[in-house]
Structures are given as C-alpha cells and as structure tokens.
C-alpha cells in the first residue's frame, strides 16, 4: 500500500512512521508513506499557501491553487483509490472505515490547517472526509498519523500475529475483553481460572461474554438491536 500525505508541516509526521509497527511495515515493503510539503507548490516568490477568507472573519484558509497543483501532480503519477481530507466535520473515524481503507492500494491524505481548505477543493477533488473525533486540532497531521496507523496495522503481514488485529476492540462491534499475562498470581490478585484451563472453547465463550458485558457498560451505543 502507498499513502501520500500533503502537509503544511510534514516534519510533524516523520517520527510516527519511523518507529514500531509502521517502521516494520515499511521495512517489509508492505506500506510506503510519502510526506509532501505543500509549500513546494506555493504561489509566487514567497510560496504563499494561505490567505484571508472572503467575507471576513478570523483565521487563514489554505488556498485553492497550491492544493490543486499538488493534487493534480500526484494524480498524474498515482491512481488513488481515495483522496481524503481530514476535517472536524468529516465522518467520524471508526473500525469499519479503517477496515475498508486497509483494502485499498493508494491513498492521498490532505492535512487541514488554520481555518481549513478552500471549499472548492472539497467540492471537486476530495472523495472522502474523515474526522478523528469531536474536537479541533491545530492541524491535520496528528489525525493523519492516527489514520495511517489504524489502517497500516490491518495490512496482512504487518503484525507478527495477524489474528491480533481481528480481536481488537470494535472489530465485531464489541469492546475487547480483559487480558492478563504472567504471573498467574500477584499480591494475591489472581488471573481468572478459565484462562488457565487450556479449554479454548470455554475461553472463547468467556471472552465473548466479558466483551459483551464491557460494551453494555461502557458503550451500549455499539450494540445493535
């Protein structure tokens, strides 16, 4: 998979992709992330990328021309499955979206900044808009890191144990059950006996029941009628 990210501050994104699981995905040749500096497509000698908004009001807007020039240059080289804009008023990111995007081959992500991007870009070049939550960040870079990580870990071969991602919270509309590791007893706090039984069918049933109970308590909205 190839993911290209257009950013005003690409330096913010280097660290998340140079360590841990995302680093391994790159080393295995399963995921390539390219960071694109929007300022390279700026207007005039000063490479301007933002301007005041028509109609007045506080906050600058990322201009249409640099963004379109950048998008069209990238599209001339890559056939993108989706061109994604990260914005607070987009569809809230969830596991279903991550699962779907992990099956794509090429994605282009645009990080918003300031008051956002010129609406004409959203109307005519963007194919998908995503929000990472009901709050506002200074820019889309942190949201892009979240999105790429949530997609990348689902690519077959990225995780050492591919079944791990399939048992994460939200994969089956349930929160994950409690997990335990060694020692089996610590300061008189014991691991549930069922997990030590070796009876996989009963363990799976226990985990399902615990997932269901946790979801009912913490996120009842996830449980379908």
What confidence tier does 164 reach under pLDDT thresholds 50, 70, 90? low
Please give the pLDDT value at position 100. Answer: 96
- Average pLDDT, integer, range 20-45: 94
Going from N- to C-terminal start, the domains of the chain cover 2-152, 169-222
What global pTM score does this model have? 0.87
Whether the pLDDT of residue 166 is over 80: the answer is no
CA atoms of 30 and 176, how far apart (whole Å): 27
CATH for 169-222, options being 1.10.1270.20, 3.40.50.300, 3.30.70.380, 3.40.640.10: 1.10.1270.20
Q: How confident is the model over 107-119, as pLDDT tens digits?
A: 999 999 989 999 9
Question: Which residues contact residue 21 at a Cβ distance below 8 angstroms, ignoring those fewer than 6 apart?
Answer: 149, 152, 153, 158, 159
- Average pLDDT, integer, range 212-219: 94
What distance lies between CA 73 and its chain's CA centroid?
Answer: 24
- Record: fold of 2-152: Alpha/beta knot (3.40.1280)
* Three-state DSSP state, 183: coil
Please give the pLDDT value at position 45. Answer: 93
Lookup result for tokens 């870009």: 121
């Amino acid at each position: 998979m190839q993911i290209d990210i257009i950013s005003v501050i690409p330096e913010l994104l280097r660290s998340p992709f140079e360590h841990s699981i995302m680093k391994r995905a790159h080393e295995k040749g399963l995921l390539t992330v390219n960071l694109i500096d929007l300022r390279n497509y700026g207007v005039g000698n000063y490479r301007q990328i933002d301007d005041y908004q028509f109609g007045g009001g506080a906050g600058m807007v990322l201009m249409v021309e640099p963004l379109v020039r950048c998008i069209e240059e990238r599209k001339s080289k890559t056939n993108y499955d989706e061109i994604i804009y990260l914005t607070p008023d987009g569809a809230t990111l969830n596991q279903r979206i991550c699962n779907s995007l992990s099956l794509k081959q090429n994605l282009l992500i645009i990080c918003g900044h300031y008051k956002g991007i010129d609406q004409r870009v959203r109307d005519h070049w963007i194919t998908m808009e995503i929000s990472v939550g009901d709050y506002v960040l200074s820019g889309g870079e942190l949201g892009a890191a979240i999105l790429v990580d949530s997609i990348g870990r689902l690519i077959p071969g990225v995780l050492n144990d591919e079944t791990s991602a399939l048992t994460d919270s939200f994969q089956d509309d349930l929160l994950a059950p409690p997990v335990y590791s060694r020692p089996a007893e610590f300061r008189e706090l014991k691991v549930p006996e069922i997990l030590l039984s070796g009876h996989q069918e009963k363990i799976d049933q226990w985990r399902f029941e615990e997932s269901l109970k946790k979801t009912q308590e913490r996120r009842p909205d996830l449980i379908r009628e």
